[in-house]
Amino acid sequence: MKKVLILALAIVLSGCASQVQKGAITLAYSNFEDRDYEDTLIYINQAENAKETSAELKAELTYLKARTYEKMGKYSDAKALYGYLVEQHPQSQYSYLAKEKLENRL
């Protein structure tokens, strides 16, 4: 609840999509570390929708989403996102990490 209030306050005070996006990314990683995967997905979606993302940020968020699905036991969803990274972001560091995940069969 506290995290939601902090994010809401950031939205009200800043009104800046960039700051909202950064806050959502921070909260996504924080929730991932806390093993709160449902909230992790919520914050990833907020970060994706806050403003247009660069290709590298899109790859980063997709990789985090794939890892989250993997932790939730949703292996087919994770595999699909890892495959997307390999195909659509071949020059990204996240493509390399995704290839490793796919080769190790999650």
- 101, 82 in Cβ contact below 8 A? yes
Per-residue pLDDT of the chain (106 residues; tens, 9 = 90+): 666 767 666 555 555 778 889 999 999 999 999 999 999 999 999 999 987 889 999 999 999 999 999 999 999 999 999 999 999 999 999 999 999 999 997 6
HSE-up (13 A, CA, CB side) for residue 102: 17
Q: pTM for the whole thing?
A: 0.82
